[in-house]
Amino acid sequence: MSLPRIHGREYLEADEANSLNDYAIKSKNSASKDDLPPTDRRMRFQRDMDQIRNSGEFKRLAGKSQVFPVYVNDNFTTRITHTIRVFGGSIGICRSLGLNEDLAGSIALAHDLGHTPFGHKGEEIIDKKLREMGLKGFDHNNQSYEIAVKLGLSKEVQEGTLKHSSKCDPKTKRYKTDDDQPSLEAQVVDMKDEIDYVAHDLEDGLKSGIIHLEDVKKLKLWQKAEKVVEAEEGVVENEVKYIKACVSAMIHVLVNDLVDTSAEMLGPIKSVDDVKNARDKLIRLSDDMDGALTEAVDYLYKNLYYSPKVKGYLGIADKVMGGLFDRYQQNPDEIDNDEVMENRERYIEEQEGDEEKVNALLAKDYIATFTDRFAIKMALKHNIITQQEVDEMSQMQS
């Protein structure tokens, strides 16, 4: 009986290079390819995926809010379910376009590692606190980049997190370090992130009763999806099944358009350098579909993200996050996280010994690791909120 063939890293890299287009990032060309020990058979970006999945930051995404806090209902999207969706979809798009699936998968897994508890609300609170102290503020993409550096991820994944952007991330531009376009793989993640949060935020919004189907049906994107459902399944009478079918069709329509449009954009592109030097991003939707997606984003902002009910769910966040920040900024000895405290010497150098600013940055790093429930637990411990306030919040949500 013959033994199975074992492939080493060089074989895998050669096989990968032969299967990818010239404008894809190849593992053998990674700026961090020499970081792997000789005994490691994995390619560079395969190692990145393992590093991310084994990290505490990734595991804690299960306890962090997307739109609805995790304590509201177990059936709403969390950061981990969103991340997994972006991961799977990004790999599929890269497969269609001849791009590096492992790199896109790694960027997708890392792109939300820096999120705070309570979603974008938590981010806004920390951002305001830092800017009041004369610091540059808080952006979860920059925080994700810092985590990527700490985890020892490749330069390509670090860049993908730093330059990650979507219609919900206008502040990201503050942290870009150059004018080069990110890799095509990073651009795929950007677009799949946007497609997924729009589709599933609509679904969760409908499930919550905050937005209504008769209004959502007026969106061009929903109408396009509905036509696909009717063509494939006919009229779906059950409303729950109808919504799920339309959400799935919406993603299908957007991804197909993205692949077709991007393939046209990539026609004249011959190399990775061509991608970096391009005037605009090359992974994109057609003008028609981009307009439909933008309309849906605007609808979500006006009717879901800033709705009174969502604000009510997140009402406790101001007191919890603001109080915890002040607590740990004034009492850095209570920061019970060795990895966070490892940043102290770097912050002392960057802030020229300003202890107040150093402690604020450490507080930021510490609180950003919290899940929603742990933030509430620590706020109770430090008498920032009362059990009665938590109970009243729970009654409101039930």
Average pLDDT over residues 310-314: 84
Q: How many CB atoms lie within 10 A of CB 274?
A: 15
pLDDT above 70 covers a percentage of the chain that reads: 95
Average pLDDT over residues 143-150: 96
Query: Contact 284/258 with Cβ under 8 angstroms?
Result: yes
Q: Is residue 358 part of a domain?
A: yes
pLDDT at 346 over 80: yes
Q: Residue 178: pLDDT band by 50, 70, 90 thresholds?
A: low
Average pLDDT over residues 369-380: 96
Q: Higher-confidence residue: 315 or 51?
A: 51
Lowest-pLDDT choice from 67-81, 167-181, 269-283:
167-181
pLDDT at 398 over 70: no
Average pLDDT over residues 260-289: 97
pLDDT at 20 over 80: yes
Q: Higher-confidence residue: 143 or 314?
A: 143
Distance CA 55, CA 242 (A): 38
Q: Is residue 92 part of a domain?
A: no
pLDDT at 1 over 70: no
pLDDT at 114 over 60: yes
- Report pLDDT digits (tens) over 198-210: 999 999 999 999 9
Number of domains observed in the structure of the chain: 1
SS3 244: helix
Residue 315 is predicted with a pLDDT of 82
Residue 5 is predicted with a pLDDT of 74
Q: What angle do CA 233, 237, 241 make, to 5 degrees?
A: 70
Residue 378 is predicted with a pLDDT of 97
pLDDT at 172 over 50: no
Q: Is residue 179 part of a domain?
A: no
- Report pLDDT digits (tens) over 82-111: 999 999 999 999 999 999 999 999 999 999
- Reduce the secondary structure of 299-321 to three states and give it as a string: HHHHHHHCCHHHHHHCHHHHHHH
Q: Is residue 166 part of a domain?
A: no
Distance CA 366, CA 356 (A): 15
Q: Is residue 33 part of a domain?
A: no
Average pLDDT over residues 226-233: 94
Q: Is residue 364 part of a domain?
A: yes
Q: Residue 211: pLDDT band by 50, 70, 90 thresholds?
A: very high
Q: Is residue 351 part of a domain?
A: yes
pLDDT at 54 over 80: yes
Distance CA 330, CA 313 (A): 28
Lowest-pLDDT choice from 65-74, 162-171, 178-187, 281-290:
162-171
What is the pTM assigned to this prediction? 0.94
Name the nearest CA neighbour of 67 among 245, 198, 212, 244.
198
Distance CA 317, CA 297 (A): 24
Residue 168 is predicted with a pLDDT of 55
Residue 395 is predicted with a pLDDT of 65
Lowest-pLDDT choice from 69-73, 127-131, 160-164, 193-197:
69-73
Instruction: Give residue 118's identity as a one-letter amino acid code.
Output: F
Distance CA 321, CA 32 (A): 37
**What are the phi and psi torsion angles at 126 (to 5°)?**
-65, -40
Q: Higher-confidence residue: 185 or 312?
A: 185
Q: How many CA atoms lie within 13 A of 270 on its CB side?
A: 0
Average pLDDT over residues 38-67: 94
pLDDT at 187 over 60: yes
Q: Is residue 361 part of a domain?
A: yes
Distance CA 26, CA 47 (A): 14
- Mean residue pLDDT of the chain comes to 92
Average pLDDT over residues 131-150: 94
Residues in the chain: 398
Average pLDDT over residues 231-246: 92
Domain that holds residue 381: 315-397
